[in-house]
Amino acid sequence: MVEYGESNFVKSEKKRNPPPVLFGIEFGEVSYLDYEPDAKLKVSQDDLLVFFRQMSVMLKSGVALSQALELLAENMSNKKFGANIFDISKKLGSGEELSSSLDSYPRIFSPIMIGLIEAGEAGGILSGVLERLALLIEAQNKIKGQITGALIYPIAILILAISVSLGLLIFIVPKFETMFSSMGADLPGLTAFMLSLSRLVTTWTFAIGAPFILFIGAYLFNISYSTPSGRLFFDKLIFKIPLFGNLILKSEVAQFSDTFSTLINSGISIVEAMERCIKASNNEVIRLSLRRSISLVTQGQELSASLETAKTIPRLLISMIRIGEETGALSFMLENIANFYKREVEEAVTILTKAMEPMVIFVVAAIVGTIVISLYLPMFDLIKTMGS
């Protein structure tokens, strides 16, 4: 068990009023003592990374756990998070375990974090577990950052293309329509369609209806995605998206392998580790596959054989797990496969970014080019008529 020790710090229980906030900026001196502990608080992964990494370093340096928590509470840049950390240190002083104290803040500390810390407390390796948690969070943040970076570029270009197209339809095309009306020329089908589209987007019906339709669509999507069947449908659909689907699958496998190996290394049983991995996964297809595997493992099947029933799980992962089971080095194999898929994610992001650049440029050029060509077609026809 972990010895928590007595704190050498005496903190005032009196809370000051929080500093005034204007436009999201806090004025005046800010302290973690300005805030009450908040069980509904959510913090960034960067704050959690700093918390676990500094906790690990202080415990390895011989600092008592409650004292380490108070030092962290005092020095955290997120003062609201600092108030929660200070509250955790007080609970330790009253005799609670660290894991049960952290469990009071489920929106900050996930079940995987709690399970690993419980295992660390039981095995007397808390500092090592905290360091491993920091590495796990860092790896997951890196994968999320890579995927976000791959998505930002095409989304930004798409928004730009839509903005430019609307600008042309609203401000430029109507001037050409006036000119065409004065000329009395017969308009090609493409030009007539573009003029009709311009008239549509310049009406109040479109200005009010388009945002309303987008809002209703987003609302219906959220309602559908909140149901198990709807979430399963859309998560299956994600894996079928060209280029992006494979990237998302690789990132899910990398996260599962990394998390699973961390749990196994900490002495947590396979079934419990998989249950915690289910809670960590963001995709319902992966969750369903793991639930089926847990059922088969509890019936006596090996983990690799139970995963074979899932069509989504890559064969390479299953083969590596089978080798790990046969050699007694399951956690080692999981670490290696996690590192392999992390590299695969990096390569997939690089390939995707390079592939998207010409594709996005082509789409933008096609949209803008179609509008411009449609405006000049009547002029070409008029020039031919005048020449004949």
How many structural domains is the chain composed of?
2
Cβ distance 120 to 266 under 8 Å?
Answer: yes
- Are 172 and 30 in a shared domain? no
Q: Supply the pLDDT for residue 13.
A: 46
Q: Supply the pLDDT for residue 6.
A: 45
Query: Beta strands of the chain (E only): which ranges?
Result: 21-22, 25-26
Q: How many residues does the chain have?
A: 388
Q: Supply the pLDDT for residue 386.
A: 60
- Are 216 and 308 in a shared domain? yes
> One-letter amino acid identity for 113?
M
Q: Supply the pLDDT for residue 351.
A: 82
Residue 187, domain CATH: 1.20.81.30
Long-range Cβ pairs for the range 347-353 (8 Å, 24+): 348/246, 348/247, 348/250, 349/146, 349/147, 349/149, 349/150, 349/247, 352/150, 352/243, 352/244, 352/247, 353/149, 353/150, 353/153
Pairing status of strand 21-22 against strand 25-26: antiparallel
Cα Rg of the chain, angstroms: 29
- Are 150 and 29 in a shared domain? no
Please identify, among 109, 124, 146, the residue that sits at the C-terminal boundary of a domain. 109
**In this structure, is residue 2 part of a structural domain?**
no
Specify the DSSP class assigned to residue 170.
Answer: I
Give the residue numbers spanning the domain of 105: 21-109
- Are 79 and 149 in a shared domain? no
Q: Supply the pLDDT for residue 16.
A: 53
**In this structure, is residue 33 part of a structural domain?**
yes
Q: Cβ contacts of residue 230 below 8 Å, gap of 6+?
A: 223, 224
pTM of the model: 0.77
Q: What DSSP line would sit under 320-359, residue for residue?
A: HHHHHHHHT-HHHHHHHHHHHHHHHHHHHHHHHHHHHHHH
Q: What is the dihedral of CA 362, 367, 372, 373, to 10 degrees?
A: 80
Q: In this structure, what are the phi and psi dihedrals at residue 12, rounded to the nearest 5 degrees?
A: -70, 135
**In this structure, is residue 185 part of a structural domain?**
yes
* Count of Cβ atoms closer than 10 Å to residue 161 Cβ: 18
Mean pLDDT, contiguous 10-residue spans, the chain (388 residues): 45 53 58 84 91 91 91 89 92 89 91 88 87 89 84 81 86 83 75 88 90 93 92 92 86 90 88 88 91 92 90 90 91 91 87 79 83 82 63
Q: Supply the pLDDT for residue 369.
A: 86
Cβ distance 321 to 333 under 8 Å?
Answer: yes
Q: Supply the pLDDT for residue 87.
A: 92
